[in-house]
A and B are shown apart, each in its own frame.
Chain A
Amino acid sequence: MKFELQNINKTFGETQILKNISLQVDRRDIVALIGKSGSGKSTLLKCINLLEIPDSGCIILDDTKIDFSNLQNIKSANPTEIRKKIGMVFQQFHLWPHLTILQNLIKAPIHVLKITKEDAIIEAKILLAKFGLLDKINGYPAELSGGGQQRIAIARTLMMHPEIILFDEPTSALDPIMTQEVSKIIKNLASDGMTVIVSTHEIHFARDVANRAIFIEHGEVVENGYAHDILFHPKTQKLQNFLTNV
């Protein structure tokens, strides 16, 4: 697996949210995107998932390369091909509230991957059992706790067998024990061969899960490297300030 971002730029109106972001990710990496809120972490994740279209730059995933500089429209980028390989777990989970847990899991595989309903149900049950939520299979998202909803959101993404899975602030709504749960899940995903990119402003969590870290401030990459180097021995003053203040 090869995944690369080259010089991604994104502006909303007058403000430039992302400035020349480049990064390269290897298989089984767990990359922590750290930075204050408003630094552009979430926008970067949305750009990777093509929910936002960068103004310029390239995304390379395996043999697919999308160059945003000479892109006529989003359709010519064929976003569904990229999105099938890159899953995203949103900060607010965004489960569909009117569908049962089971339906939440099987809709996309049935319609996008065209697998049969029976196969999808079997797969969903295996995932739910793994996350300890099999008894909730016919319940609705609102009946679950925040942590439960998050695991359903993760399961929904895993149903698509993505190569890369993006987490947007996964710990923001969780207590410390649930945070440990999530780190465990993320580490398991990586050992199963998936690549994880996770945005967070919680340094303890980042230190716990990540092997790579990228510090972003005002839409710019300030430091990029191994998590241990960056999170324990910051080189720049900006990162030192960030680590001591959080």
Chain B
Amino acid sequence: MDLNELKYYAPLVLNGVFITIALMVCSLVMGLLLSSVLTALSFLKFKPLNFIIWLYTFIIRGTPLLVQIFLIYYGSAQFECIRNSFLWHFLKSGFGCTVIALSLNSSGYCVVLFRGLVKSIPQGEFDACLSLGMSKIQMIYSVILSRLIRIAIPSYSNEVAIILKSTSLASTITIMDLMGVTKFLISATYATLPCLFLAGCIYLLINFLIIKLYSLSLKKIYTLRI
């Protein structure tokens, strides 16, 4: 593969990078929303609900992500009711399926992470809120949420890195993300090693930028005095 060829393929690779990042951002946002809701629900002390959440995390964490993606992509089309529901707008595209699979997967891990973090906050800090007359809702949004965000950010960086790399599985269901493009380039040029090497470097670069962004936001959060 000479340099001219690379120029020719550059827009394709850039597009792949864009799709990879889009997959990651969408999955992170949806996964974060889902896991926040599930974490909040898990503290309602309603036993059947806690069992369902436990079962959910058990299944999500116990099965391979690839299986989950295939099940959602190939499985959902088998059901008439799904094809007629609004969910089909997302499920008919490989992109939608990947985002759903990744966010479900991420939330399965994050619920466990967030629950642990909430439990790591000393009981006395909750007691202090209550003893000052706060309701539970006031306690959560005025004190505990900001506390949680601060302790969650460092451990959540793992999740971001894992999601970024997991997006590569989308290439197995026709998505032309960075990995999909790489596969295409390999079959077009037969330059297996350089293409994979290039893809690896790009993933590394994206991750590096995320880590940088992360440490910047951490600094911002710790020095911010509202």
A90 x B127 contact (CB < 8 A): yes
**What 16 additional pairs, Cβ within 8 angstroms, besides A86-B131, A90-B131, A96-B143?**
A94-B125, A94-B127, A95-B128, A97-B147, A98-B146, A99-B143, A100-B225, A107-B132, A107-B142, A107-B143, A108-B129, A108-B132, A108-B134, A112-B132, A112-B134, A160-B132
Q: Which partner residue on chain A sits nearest B151 by CB separation?
A: A98
Contact A112 B133 (CB under 8 A): yes
The verdict on A150 contacting chain B, using a C-beta distance below 8 Å, is no
Residues of B within 8 Å of A95, CB to CB, are 128
Chain B: minimal CB distance from A122 (Å): 18
Q: How far is the CA of A108 from the CA of B125 in the complex (A)?
A: 13
Q: Which of B133, B150, B225, B226 contacts A108 (CB 8 A)?
A: B133
Q: Which residues of B contact A86 (CB under 8 A)?
A: 131
Name the B residues within 8 Å of A79 (CB-CB).
Answer: 130
In the complex, what residues of A have CB within 8 A of residue B138's CB? 111-112
Chain A nearest CB from B212 CB (Å) reads 24
Interface-centre pick from B128, B129, B130, B131 (highest chain A CB count, 10 A): B131
Which residues of A sit under 8 angstroms from B131, Cβ to Cβ?
49, 51, 83, 86-88, 90, 157
Distance from B120 Cβ to chain A, minimum over Cβ atoms (Å): 12
- Closest residue of chain B to A159, judged by CB? B132
CB distance from A148 to the nearest CB of B (A): 17
Which residues 86-118 in A have Cβ within 8 Å of B in the complex?
86-88, 90, 92, 94-100, 103, 107-108, 110-112
Which residues of A does B touch, CB under 8 Å? 49, 51, 79-80, 83-84, 86-88, 90, 92, 94-100, 103, 107-108, 110-112, 138, 156-157, 160
User: Do B130 and A83 touch (CB < 8 A)?
Assistant: yes
Indicate if the CB atoms of A80 and B133 lie closer than 8 Å. Answer: yes
Report B-chain residues with C-beta under 8 Å of the C-beta of A51. Answer: 127, 130-131
Residues of A within 8 A of B84 (CB): none
Q: Residue on A with the closest CB to B127? A: A51
Which listed residue (B122, B135, B147) contacts A98, Cβ 8 A?
B147
Chain B residues whose C-beta falls within 8 Å of the C-beta of A94 in the assembled complex: 122, 124-125, 127-128
